[in-house]
């Protein structure tokens, strides 16, 4: 079925040029392992959507190659389509049909026979907690229910890999948490691979095994959330010492994970790679020399800081085109009713 390739997504030098000049995606390369949750972050117009569209065969790459589930997106687009599932950013379910009918309709598009798809659709609706609403028209669904229905629809072909584009856009905190729970369940219970984009950085931090940050069509950073955060130079530990006269900087620097120490009178600002492990060591060190620690605080860098570090702090002009912006507005509006 699949080639000897170990990666479920294998992208090499993928490039998309619009109108001969605009390089929306510029030589992107990365791999996604089977069974991981891979987050794709970046500002609007950075190339996220273009990349997803190329991986899901909606756009043809200008150059470079991409293999998804062992199939080349260019030469075997239909095999790629058959083996992946997609949860689009928009609410694409039909308002006039029931939840069950919508999922079964997606089954028809994947060629799943009705006899099988009915059972499957029921199981999937159960999986996302929509069993009770299965026979209600989608018109009556809330934003969160619609989003879960999209997830169920995206799973009807039992894909190994699911693409989720902004799965929590416009949802409130409770619903967002619930959606993340379902996503985690897919990974843990079914060993699925999930490839997703999101703007909620804290949540990406909590759920993703690895994260790629893309900007101006290029991947600017890729790694596990903790790798990304430690790439900022590590955690900050602030230590207060009662004895103001002695400079403890050389002493603190003896601690192996400490990278940098700055003294402000009796307080020390220490950068260390593993803050929560370094802090007790530092305290012990200070105490064995007979000094007294008056306060301690460990701050870890957030994903927000990582994101701003790599994509810059300037506010982006909206590069998304009019149609895309309208679709996003529709999504947010429908999520809220």
Partner 1 sequence: MSDNINSSDSDSGQKAVLVQKPMKKWGNERIDRSPLHGLWALTNRELEKWYKVPVLLLLSLIQPVIWLGLFGKAFNIGSIFTDGSFNIPGLNIPKNVLDQLSAQLMQSTFGTTDYFSFLAVGMLSFVTLFTAMFSGMSIVWDRRFGFLDKVLSTPVSRGAIVMGKILSSVIRSLAQAAIILVIAVPLGMDVGHFSVLGILGTFVALFLMTLGFSALFLMLALRSNDWQSQMAIMNLLNLPLLFGSNALFPSSIMPTWLQDFVKINPISYATDAGRQLLLGAPGFASLNFDFIYLAGFAILFTTIGIVMSWRLLTK
Q: Indicate the SS3 state at residue 213.
A: strand
Burial (0-12, 13-18, 19+ Cβ within 10 Å), 83: buried
* 158: DSSP letter: -
Which residue from 195, 201, 115, 112 is spatially nearest to 157, judged by alpha carbons? Answer: 112
Least separation in angstroms between residue 189's CB and partner 1 is 6
Least separation in angstroms between residue 137's CB and partner 1 is 10
Region from 19-27, 34-42, 215-223, 230-238 binding partner 1, contact rule CB under 8 A = 34-42
Least separation in angstroms between residue 253's CB and partner 1 is 31
Region from 252-260, 283-291, 292-300, 322-330 binding partner 1, contact rule CB under 8 A = 322-330
Q: Which is nearer to partner 1, 159 or 261 (CB)?
A: 159
Least separation in angstroms between residue 41's CB and partner 1 is 21
**175 lies in the binding site for partner 1 (CB under 8 A):** no
Report the distance separating Cα 25 and Cα 3, nearest Å: 26
Least separation in angstroms between residue 282's CB and partner 1 is 25
Report the distance separating Cα 48 and Cα 46, nearest Å: 6
Report the distance separating Cα 330 and Cα 281, nearest Å: 53
**36 lies in the binding site for partner 1 (CB under 8 A):** yes
Q: Which residues pair with 222 in a beta bridge?
A: 212
| In contact, 153 and 110? CB cutoff 8 Å | no
**Mask: binding to partner 1, 95-114, rule CB under 8 A, as x and -?**
-xx-------xx-xxxxxx-
CA atoms within 13 Å, Cβ hemisphere of 64: 22
Pairing of strands 161-165, 193-197: parallel
Least separation in angstroms between residue 7's CB and partner 1 is 10
Q: Residue-wise over 258-283: b if at least 16 C-beta within 10 A, else e?
A: beebeeeebebebbbeebeebbebbe
Least separation in angstroms between residue 73's CB and partner 1 is 11
Among 11, 24, 25, 86, binds partner 1 (CB under 8 A): 86
Q: Which is nearer to partner 1, 53 or 148 (CB)?
A: 53
Region from 93-101, 215-223, 229-237, 294-302 binding partner 1, contact rule CB under 8 A = 93-101
Region from 20-28, 79-87, 140-148, 230-238 binding partner 1, contact rule CB under 8 A = 79-87
**197 lies in the binding site for partner 1 (CB under 8 A):** no
Report the distance separating Cα 187 and Cα 193, nearest Å: 6
* 192: DSSP letter: -
**51 lies in the binding site for partner 1 (CB under 8 A):** no
Going 71 to 72 to 76 to 82, the CA torsion angle's sign is positive
- How many residues touch partner 1 under the rule CB under 8 A: the total is 46
Least separation in angstroms between residue 153's CB and partner 1 is 8
Q: Which residues bind partner 1 (CB under 8 A)?
A: 6, 33-36, 53, 56-60, 78, 81-84, 86, 88-92, 94, 96-97, 105-106, 108-113, 116, 157-158, 160, 188-191, 209, 323, 326-327, 330
């Amino acid at each position: 079925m699949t080639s000897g390739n170990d990666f479920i997504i294998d992208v090499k030098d993928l490039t998309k040029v619009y109108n001969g000049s605009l390089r929306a995606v510029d030589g992107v390369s990365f791999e996604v392992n089977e069974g991981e949750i891979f987050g794709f972050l970046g500002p609007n117009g950075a190339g996220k959507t273009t990349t997803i569209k190329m991986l899901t065969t909606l756009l043809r790459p200008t150059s470079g190659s991409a293999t998804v589930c062992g199939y080349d997106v260019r030469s075997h687009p239909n095999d790629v389509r058959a083996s992946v599932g997609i949860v689009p950013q928009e609410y694409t379910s039909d308002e006039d049909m029931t939840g069950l009918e919508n999922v079964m309709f997606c089954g028809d598009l994947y060629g799943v026979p009705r006899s099988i798809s009915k059972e499957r659709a029921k199981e999937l609706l159960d999986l996302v907690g929509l069993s009770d609403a299965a026979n209600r028209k989608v018109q009556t669904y809330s934003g969160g229910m619609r989003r879960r229905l999209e997830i169920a629809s995206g799973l009807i072909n039992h894909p190994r890999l699911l693409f989720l584009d902004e799965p929590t856009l416009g949802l409130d905190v409770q619903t967002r948490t619930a959606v993340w729970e379902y996503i985690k369940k897919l990974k843990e219970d079914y060993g699925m691979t999930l490839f997703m984009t999101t703007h909620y950085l804290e949540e990406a931090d909590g759920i993703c095994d690895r994260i790629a940050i893309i900007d101006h069509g290029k991947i600017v950073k890729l790694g596990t959330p903790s790798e990304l955060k430690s790439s900022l130079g590590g955690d900050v530990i602030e230590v207060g010492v009662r004895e103001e006269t002695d400079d403890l900087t050389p002493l603190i620097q003896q601690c192996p994970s400490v990278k940098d120490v700055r003294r402000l009178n009796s307080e020390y600002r220490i950068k260390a790679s593993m803050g929560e492990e370094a802090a007790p060591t530092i305290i012990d060190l200070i105490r064995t020399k007979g000094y007294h620690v008056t306060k301690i605080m460990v701050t870890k860098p957030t994903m927000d800081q990582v994101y701003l570090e790599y994509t810059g702090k300037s506010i982006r002009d909206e590069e998304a085109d009019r149609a895309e912006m309208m679709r996003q507005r529709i999504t947010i509006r429908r999520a809220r009713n």
